[in-house]
Chains A and B, each alone.
Chain A
Amino acid sequence: MIGQSIPKLDAQALVTGKPVYTDDLAAYHHALIVKILRSPHAHARIRSIDKSHAEKIPGVACILTHEDVPHCRYTNSGESYPEPCPHDRFLLEPVVRYVGDEVAIVAAESEKAAARALELIRVDYEILPAVLDFTNAENNPVLVHAPNEGVFMPDDVGLDCAHNVVSRHKVQKGDLSSALSSSDRVVTGEFFTPPQSHCMMETHRSFCFPDEFGRLTFWTSTQSPFHTRRQTAAALGLPYNRIRVMKPRVGGAFGGKNITVCEPYVGIVTLKTGRPAKMVLTRKETFTATASRHEMRFRITLGASADGTLKAVQVDCLNNTGAYGEDGPAVTMVSAGNMLPMHNRTDAIEFTGTTVYTNLLPGGAMRGYGAAQSTFAIECMMDELADACGIDPIAFRLKNCAKEGDTGGILTTPIRSSSLLRCIARGREMIGWNEKYPVQQLSETRLRAVGMAAATHGSGVQNIGQAAVSIRLEEDGTYLMRSGATDLGTGSDTILTQIAAQVLNCPVSRINTRTADTDGPYDTGAFASCTTYVTGNAVIKAAESFKNRLFTWAGKRMACPPDTLVLLEDRVAMQNDPSRFMELSGIGMATMIGDNAMLEATETYLCTDAPNPFAAGFAEIDLDLETGKIDLHQFVLVVDCGKVINPALARIQAEGGVVQSIGYALYEQPVRDQKGRLITDSFMQYKIPTRLDVRNIRVAFEESSEPTGPFGAKSLGELVIHTPAPAIANALFHATGIKLHELPMTPEKVYRALCARGLNKYPRRVAQEGMH
């Protein structure tokens, strides 16, 4: 089962268009349509709201303002408790803090009635000055959240509302100043990484109804049902046990659905009306009023000896978390924690990070989670340092990168597995580095160049990520496996079933897998690249525990010691005499009667190691000197995710991550107007890669065996997004010497940089035909 590319177990339902997503399930109920009136101002105080005209629209069930809802602090982050997230939200309040902030809730019988009611609500705003530039948020006289208004963090990591600061972090190893002063080569750089929109194809949505016991029951498109339940309960002032959250199939998430962005609003409508209610965000709302990748600034100084030995790494990170704190502090921490292990061999490391509030769209979890940003910055700087040392960038990385067996320093656990050196060697060969590095002249106006980057990540959240899995024998001798794991389309339900099937020595068809229901076993949810590693380990524990119970039960009846038995597909047999056996179907029936007879095992796994996976990415770009346009000719990604459980699904996930990073690197440019409104709020303005933009992406795996992983597996999902952006930037650097430290690398920015270096070619057509 392990290492086999079996199709996803839900594949048939998905490719035949079955109604398995949130809004499909809502279609079978008569659900009220919930819509939100949103702030047009980046910062304002609401003087008054007149809903009298809107309430007269036929079909309007209720209109709720801050005067009508519970006033309970919460965070919408899907982080595990105790979360380092400021509880800085109310369901509704008389202050709005970014363009898109919630002002009022409308619930109506139809879309039309709800939309008309939104238009008729009159709000009188007192417009306040706003913090729109995150580089001057700290010490700004304008405060996004006033101190002493009750904002708190369960795990306080430096909240300081009086200075718009959400958190401060420091990571240290060795003596930085002496390492820098003893370095022969020192390079510095400042980097800006923009917000990025997740652009999952299914926008955010949630459906809620009261069950027969009066509990609020959700079918909702989420990454973490348990955290969604906790935060929704906090927002509504309800005990957790009055809420049940279930996740149907999800149409993509990428971190974007690890926030409780719809549930409290549909929940309050169901509480107020007793009716089923649903909310489906528009694409514009998903762009402008959910969350994006955090915008960051990095200031980096690196030092090396003349022979190219990395001696000092200094990184200062400024993180814009927007109007609400959410995942901001954790993202700042992870920008260090899932990047620095690569450079732990150096003498000295100093990382300082600050997370700040602004009156802009909140940042949230997005695939890569800070490390995508920091890896871009540090991997560009590594190339510049290699260049300063006069050393090939691959040789530089081979010399300085993390290696199996590394321990101490900033590492919280040793690196027990790494095939990064093999990944780099294979990628070098696949892209033809030796023939192509650094640059070829394709024509008078076109250059082709290669660049590379290396990356790591984590697998789960150390000492926080936890999963419970329950396995039981059914009457017919098949298995039911229940877990809280949250398949977002990646195929984790299938992966977990493969792992169980390996332990239970049967085909996946003998196991029914039921996941993501808060009335079932607990799981932290699908974030921090945890499901295969953390829940996978829990599956093994539960399956082994189940087998022990089964062997004890069967051993008694077969009059033999349990350790002489083996589990086969449909039977328990004696190891040395297979003719003596009991069929599982018979056992399943027999265990229906009897005191404590039911064969079921539940086990919990806590992620204590969170091992680092590794990857090396290689970009080959074509650069047009007339336009500054970069075309990605090919990209090679070689991955060490430990053992690959399902090669087909791993490959697809890696390819998808690469393309999201290509978008981040080249096309996806969020633009705000002077009042802080995000104007790139549709696929017309915000360009994600299409089929015409990307081709020739090749993914290979160099397996290692992680001793703490399920059958040797480590994480994959986020790691794969790290290398494309820096590898492309490094190719541009090799082609031209341009150090472009700001994403995305649009033709305009590249062309300006070419002009500054005198490398641009004046477009011939324009030169010949003149300007029109």
Chain B
Amino acid sequence: MLPIEPDEYLSETLRAAGMLSVRRGCDTGMCGLCTVLVDGTPILSCSTLSARTDGHTVHTLEGMQEEASEFTKYLTEQGAEQCGFCAPGFILTVLAMKRELQTPTEEAIRRYLNGNLCRCTGYMGQMRTVRRYMGLPEPEVD
């Protein structure tokens, strides 16, 4: 149980509780950095009131290390974590996607991950990693 204020957002609560993998990159719910899993579903903790998660299960990357290890191994082999600041939110979204998408396609994974911005990698290395993790082929260019 964590004590909260009525107007407190989940990202603030989690950081105050020492879950420092939860980061913020914008003021407008646009960047995906603060993504955590609530009952397994990715949500933006910067714009979710902590009170709304009362009685629900919240996972941050701190609690998903084992489940994340296969994907993060691929990520580091590509060097696609780069600065690493967006990594926790991105990784949690990928883990949820793996469970959620019944028939992953190139378009489907792009759309699923579109809310996770990255300014370092240009996405290419991240997408190579995601395809490997999801068992998708590298697309060909005509």
Contact = CB atoms under 8 A, between A and B. Distances in A.
B113 interface: yes
Interface string B29-65: 0110100000000000000000000000000111001
Interface residues of A, number: 61
A689 B21 CA distance: 24
B141 A16 contact: no
A178 B141 CA distance: 48
Contacts of A648: 77-79
A200 B119 contact: yes
Contact of B81 (A14, A203, A282, A695): A14
Contacts of A660: 119, 122
B131 to A, nearest CB: 12
B92 to A, nearest CB: 9
Contacts of B125: 651-652, 655
Interface string B99-142: 00000000000110110111111111101000000000001010
A19 B84 CA distance: 11
A8 B62 contact: no
A202 interface: yes
A695 B139 contact: yes
Interface residues of B, number: 50
Contact of A683 (B15, B31, B123, B127): B31
B81 A656 contact: no
Contacts of A633: 141
Nearest to B106: A695
B141 A694 contact: no
Given A11-B81, A252-B120, A682 B30 contact: yes
Given A648-B78, A652-B121, A692-B110, A284 B84 contact: no
Given A16-B65, A692-B111, A282 B27 contact: yes
Contact of B33 (A201, A682, A698): A201
A655 B124 contact: yes
A355 B93 CA distance: 45
A21 B21 CA distance: 10
Contact of A283 (B27, B68, B122, B139): B27
Contacts of A695: 110, 127, 139
Contacts of B141: 633-634, 696, 698
Determine the main DSSP class of A at the interface with B.
loop
B32 to A, nearest CB: 9
A16 B79 contact: no
Given A252-B120, A656-B120, A15 B72 contact: yes
Contacts of A653: 82
A14 B84 CA distance: 5
A24 B61 CA distance: 15
Given A199-B119, A200-B119, A251-B83, A17 B113 contact: no
B12 to A, nearest CB: 8
Contacts of A249: 83-84
A17 B60 contact: yes
Interface string A638-659: 0000000010110111011111
B117 A690 contact: yes
Given A5-B79, A691-B127, A696-B141, A201 B30 contact: no
Interface in A687-709: 688-692, 694-698
B4 interface: no
Contacts of A18: 20-21
Interface in A502-535: none
Contact of A688 (B15, B33, B117, B139): B117
B122 A15 contact: no
B30 A691 contact: no
A488 interface: yes
Given A201-B117, A284-B27, A683-B28, A489 B72 contact: no
B110 A691 contact: yes
B85 A489 contact: yes
Contact of B83 (A12, A201, A646, A649): A201
A652 B26 contact: no
B83 A489 contact: yes
A682 B62 contact: no
Given A659-B122, A688-B117, 10 more contacts: A14-B84, A15-B72, A16-B72, A18-B21, A27-B20, A254-B119, A489-B82, A659-B121, A659-B123, A688-B119
Interface of B: 15, 18, 20-21, 23, 25-28, 30-31, 33, 60-62, 65, 68, 72, 75-88, 91, 110-111, 113-114, 116-125, 127, 139, 141
23 contacts: A7-B76, A8-B76, A11-B84, A15-B87, A16-B61, A18-B21, A24-B20, A27-B20, A199-B119, A201-B25, A252-B119, A488-B83, A652-B78, A652-B121, A652-B124, A655-B122, A656-B82, A660-B122, A682-B26, A684-B30, A689-B122, A690-B123, A694-B124
